[in-house]
Chain A
Amino acid sequence: MPRARALYASFKHQAWHFFADPQWLIPNIIAPFIVTMVVLLLFQDITGEVVLYAVLGGGMMGMWGNTLYASGWSIQSDRWWGTIDGVFAAPTHIIWVIGGRTLWNTLIGVLNGLLILVIAVAVFQVPLELNEPWLFLLAFVTTLLSLACLGLIFSAAFVLTRSAQVLTNGLEFPIYVGTGSMFPIALLPFWSHPLSLSLAPTWGIDAMRYAALTDYSWGLSTGYWGDMAIMALISLVYLGLAIWLFMIVDRVSRRDASLGRA
């Protein structure tokens, strides 16, 4: 019960932070939205399935942008505010504090992703006719959860470095490329395919395309439910890895007395 209370308190705390300074949503939206615009202008005279790639990819990028910035900044902000030592010294393990923050960020990430979809559809008048709307929504939300699990791993790593901000900026495009957010991963070099397939969101975006498109020719052979199952499995591995990393990070940061280094 105390863990659930800590989780809830952290969730609420993160929500208040967001409402106190909501401008931080802008960096999370701006990159995916502009990249989606670039892609739609690049696709000029192309219509149909390919254009939906761009719009769906934009939604996924919006979710990742939010997760990444939230992961990077949740620790960095504590450093700047001088509260990181208190967070670690609390009797509740750090994973529950980060977990609450991640849940809030997940909620905002869904809204962020949907907002990018809506803006792209409204501004560019792309007809977003979803083949299976409910399956699409399920894939959309679970993809975000998988991104949140991936973000947790980065959060743990960010505790150990003062350069979380630098890493945050550098990790945006690698995931866009690796997951094939806007193009099929078949275009990537063959050697990189195992790396792409080890990313849960790769399966998530594929599931979203299966649910959205009537004739999806570039899809992975696993199909919608196969994609969802593999994504869930990889996400659980991410979660386990993140918990393990946080335990190590907790020990190392206490031993090295490096937490307060802003």
Chain B
Amino acid sequence: MAVYVSNPIRVFWSSAVLAKNALFAWLNPAMWITQLFFISLFQMAFFVYLATFAQNPQVSVAFVAVGNALQSVAYVSIFAVCNITGEEKQQGTLQNILVSPANRFSIFVGRAMFQIVNGMATVVIAFLYAAVLFNVDFSQTDFLALAVTILVTTFAMTGFGLMLSSLGLYLRTSMIIANIFLFLGLLVCGVNFPISYLPPFLQPISYAIPMTYGTEAARMAVTGSTLSGIAGILTVEAVVGFIAVLVGYAMMVRFERIARVKGSMEKY
């Protein structure tokens, strides 16, 4: 047992498997599939019709549809991942996890792993909607470049979600943070309009969120850029995602200590 919990890889894997099993023990698979197929559709439709109404020459339907298709990963990578600590708290299992000798980082990263698969499936379905329902032209698309963009963005955004999740150790609920960042992405990540539209003081925030690089890379891949053409942007995105994971770990250690000192672990 002691050998098992001191092995971070095994803890990570068992945490990932447990998270997947727990999700389907709680959530009806039919409901999961419904969510997978519908969550991106209406958000994309909303902004596509809005762009049609606004008739802004710089913001085409394709611009908005591709941006929203990729951004749909945020429902999973921000919302679901950010709520990991909050849900443990609500279910009364957080204290047991924190008193166990198992590596926290492995546990929480493992918890998020199924959401990477979930997130990629959500984005792929959203791109299908962009093609079939909103007539986005994919004839020039480099699909390898697009697939790598989806992969890197999902990993990077999951890292970002984990960073936010660490706040749930201290706050009464991480749901509020999840909501703020879920929708903030629509504003600051170049999903619906170029970042240059934002006031200058907001633009640095854009470049601290991996999604900003992802939307740019996805649009380039859709218009024909090869993998080597977007490698630079994807590298920066991966680095930002990695930094988010490291910052998240530091925050997790810090907030755990504060929560222990203040006795706020069970406060929700």
Contact = CB atoms under 8 A, between A and B. Distances in A.
Interface of A: 21, 23-24, 26-27, 30-31, 34-35, 37-39, 41-44, 46, 50, 53, 80, 161-163, 166-167, 169-170, 173-174, 176-177, 182-184, 187-188
B226 to A, nearest CB: 31
Given A166-B31, A170-B39, A177-B46, A44 B172 contact: no
Given A27-B176, A170-B38, A162 B26 contact: yes
17 contacts: A23-B173, A27-B175, A27-B179, A30-B180, A34-B183, A38-B192, A41-B187, A41-B193, A41-B198, A42-B50, A42-B51, A53-B53, A166-B31, A176-B42, A177-B45, A177-B49, A182-B53
A167 B50 CA distance: 24
Contacts of A31: 179, 183
Contacts, number: 95
Interface of B: 26-28, 31, 34-35, 38-39, 42-43, 45-47, 49-54, 56, 59, 75, 79, 90, 172-173, 175-176, 179-180, 183-184, 186-187, 192-193, 197-198
B50 A182 contact: yes
Given A41-B197, A42-B59, A23 B183 contact: no
A187 B46 CA distance: 11
A41 to B, nearest CB: 5
Contacts of A44: 56, 197
Given A23-B176, A183-B53, 4 more contacts: A31-B179, A43-B56, A166-B31, A173-B42
Contacts of B75: 169
A173 B43 contact: yes
Nearest to A21: B172
Contacts of A41: 187, 193, 197-198
Given A38-B192, A43-B54, A183 B49 contact: yes
Contact of A35 (B38, B59, B79, B186): B186
Contacts of B50: 39, 42, 182-183
Contacts of A21: 172
Given A34-B186, A34-B187, A170 B35 contact: yes
Which 3 interchain pairs have the tightest Cβ spacing? A173-B42, A183-B53, A27-B179
Given A27-B176, A42-B56, A46-B54, A169 B79 contact: yes
A26 B179 contact: yes
A174 B42 contact: yes
A44 B172 CA distance: 38
Contacts of A53: 53
A163 B31 contact: yes
Contact of B192 (A42, A161, A177): A42
A184 B49 CA distance: 9
